[in-house]
Each structure stands twice: as structure tokens, then as C-alpha cells.
Structure 1
Amino acid sequence: MVNITIKKVTLNDIDQLQKIGRQTFKETFSESNSEENMKSYLEVGFSNEKLTEELTDRNSDFYFATVDNEVIGYLKLNFGDSQTELKDNKSLEIERIYVSKEFHGKSVGQLLYDKAIQVAKLNDSEYVWLGVWEENLRAIRFYKKNGFVEFDKHIFKLGNEEQTDIMMKLKL
């Protein structure tokens, strides 16, 4: 049994965050998207400027999942005005849960998810919500298993392509 640790990410961890962010996004979506769109999203979405801005935002939190100090996944949470939509002070958004491919099916995502719920409860959130790509069936099954229900859809732009995200929420 591997010993997985969840720890809060700080600005000092920006290089590791950039690395795991790019790696896991690529592993998850490169087969379904053009190389050009992926390249541009990875450059902009995980640039030092963008990550610095996100890491210094008091309404966003990042957490790493690590094994022997190696980062194997991460979680990004948003509160209040930092949420990508809704912006409800009574809610918490799980913007990202990504786990490196070799650790899929080893409960890493569940540990990161449990951390998100713990943080939501500590902040007296009434519900947790998220958007998940309609073709990411693995993630949709995971969230449904954890009690989330669909409530809306929205468009996510990846390069020049528009994709539909299913919005899901869980009442706490």
C-alpha cells in the first residue's frame, strides 16, 4: 500500500505545480484534441504568470497528492469571486482534480476529493460544484459515485474548439 500525503501548495511549489498540471492535462486530453490547441492551452493555462496569479489568490487553494515527496496529482479549489461561474459565497468549486495516469485507480483522486469536501465543510459551504467535460466519462462516473448530480452545461474553450462541460453539484 502506497502512503499518499495531501499537502497545501505554496508559491514555492510553482515549478512542481506547472509540471504536474501540464503532465496530467496532457495525459487526460491529448488524444481527443489537436496538438495545436493542446500546446497553446498548456503554455497559457500553466504559464508562470497564470499560476502565480492563481497561487496568490486568497480565494483559491491548491493541494498536492504526493508519494515519497513525488507529486502524483493535485486539486484546485475556488471560493467566492474566484469561482469560474456561479460565484456564490455559499459554495465551493472544485476546478481541478488531476492524477498522473500511473496512479489512476489507486484512490488518489478520492483522497483529493475528500480534502475538497473537508475544506468546503470548514468554510461552511452549503454545496460543492464543478464542471466536467461531457466526454470524460471516467470523471463523470467518479462524481456520480460521490453523490453529485447534473444541473447545467457550459462551454469550455480549448484553443479554437468549444467543448461542452456538464456542471454537477453536491449539497452538503
Structure 2
Amino acid sequence: MPMIEMAQSADTTTIRDLSVDTFTETFAALNTQEDMDKYIADNLSPELLQQEIDNPNSTFLVATVDGVPAGYMKVNTGAAQTEDMPDDHMEVQRLYILKAFKRNGLGSGLMRTAFGMARAQGKTKMWLGVWEHNDPAIAFYKRFGFTQIGSHDFVLGDDRQTDLLMEANVEPKE
């Protein structure tokens, strides 16, 4: 049975394992090993992830299936957002599902949870960055009403890539 729960400070190892495994599954075949290793070392270290988990403006959610961690999402508000955005915006910075658990509704469940969190916090927009060549993710986000509003650089190791910036309206609480 799938479950989505908010990660706690003690969940750093689970978040780290999911982060490395899902990022590697998603991007290793399209990037050099050196760039992957550098990105993981610089951006997914246990110390950095612990700081992110403990940041009051960031929330990690973990999706499990029968108690097995299957994916996760990180959302940011306020100063934790990776771009300068207004206070009425929430960022979906990371949303990854392990390949073995894809196509089971976990990503949709995490996204619906993010929209619910945004509504509860009075946010009017959600936004994210997605690699311009990640067609499945772009199609997924479009199903949730995201449209492209710009782009920014994303550095993976020593490789400068382009992320599309996408935004969606958050429907107000009824």
C-alpha cells in the first residue's frame, strides 16, 4: 500500500539513498560518470541534505510502497527557493521515483500533496525547473497544468545544461 509521509531530521539516510539512486537512474546514461560523481558529491552529500531537511522553508516527502522507500519530493518556500520568487510561490525542487515503482501513481500522489500544501499555505503559484531533454517529466508536469515561463542554467558536474522553468496556478481553498 503506497504511503506519503513528511520526512523527519532522522530520515537523512533514506533521503540520501533515494536521492543518489533516483538521480543516477534518471540521468547516468545521458551524462559522464565524472559529471555525475561531482554533482552527487557537491549536491547530495549527507551534510548538505541534513541542512536541507532541517531548513524550516523546505519539506521532504517520502513515498513508500509496503514500507519500502520508493520516491521522494522536496518543496521550498520563501528563501529556500532556488530562484528569487515571490512569497506566494512554492517550488517543487525535486520529485523522483525509483524506476521499479514508476507508473504506480506515486509521482501524481506527491504532486497532489504539493498542491495541497501550497493551498494550505495560501500560495497562488507552484513552479519548478526540469531538464529540457527530460520529455517524460515535462509531459507529467504539463498534465498538472504547468507551462513554461523561462529557463535557467543547471550545472551537472562541469556540464552546463538548460532547465525549463515551469509554473502552475494553485487553485484557492474552497
Provide the TM-score with structure 1 as the length reference. 0.97
- Which of 31, 45, 48 pairs up with 1:47? 45
- Which of 145, 148, 167 pairs up with 1:147? 145
AA at the equivalent of 1:132 = V
Off by >6 Å, runs of 4+ in structure 1: none
Q: Return the alpha-carbon distance in structure 2 between the equivalents of residues 111 and 22 of structure 1.
A: 21
- Which of 62, 67, 70 pairs up with 1:69? 67
Deviations 1:28-51 (A, max 9, x none): 000110000101111221111101
- Which of 56, 59, 67 pairs up with 2:57? 59
Q: How many residues align?
A: 170
Q: Return the alpha-carbon distance in structure 2 between the equivalents of residues 87 and 9 of structure 1.
A: 24
> CA RMSD for the aligned pairs?
0.7
Deviation at 1:87, TM superposition (A): 3.0
Q: Return the alpha-carbon distance in structure 1 between the equivalents of residues 28 and 147 of structure 2.
A: 27
Q: Return the alpha-carbon distance in structure 1 between the equivalents of residues 20 and 127 of structure 2.
A: 23
Q: Return the alpha-carbon distance in structure 2 between the equivalents of residues 67 and 149 of structure 1.
A: 30
- Which of 14, 17, 39 pairs up with 1:16? 14
Q: Return the alpha-carbon distance in structure 2 between the equivalents of residues 127 and 160 of structure 1.
A: 32
Q: Return the alpha-carbon distance in structure 1 between the equivalents of residues 14 and 79 of structure 2.
A: 26
More displaced 10-residue stretch of structure 1: 17-26 or 102-111? 102-111
Same amino acid, percent of matched pairs: 36
Deviation at 1:67, TM superposition (A): 1.1
Aligned to 1:26: 24
Aligned to 2:97: 99
Q: For 1:103-122, what aligned pairs fall within 5 Å after superposition?
A: 103-122=101-120
Provide the TM-score with structure 2 as the length reference. 0.96
Deviations 1:72-98 (A, max 9, x none): 000000001110003321000000110
Deviations 1:118-153 (A, max 9, x none): 110011001000000000000000011111111101
- Which of 160, 163, 168 pairs up with 1:170? 168
AA at the equivalent of 1:164 = T
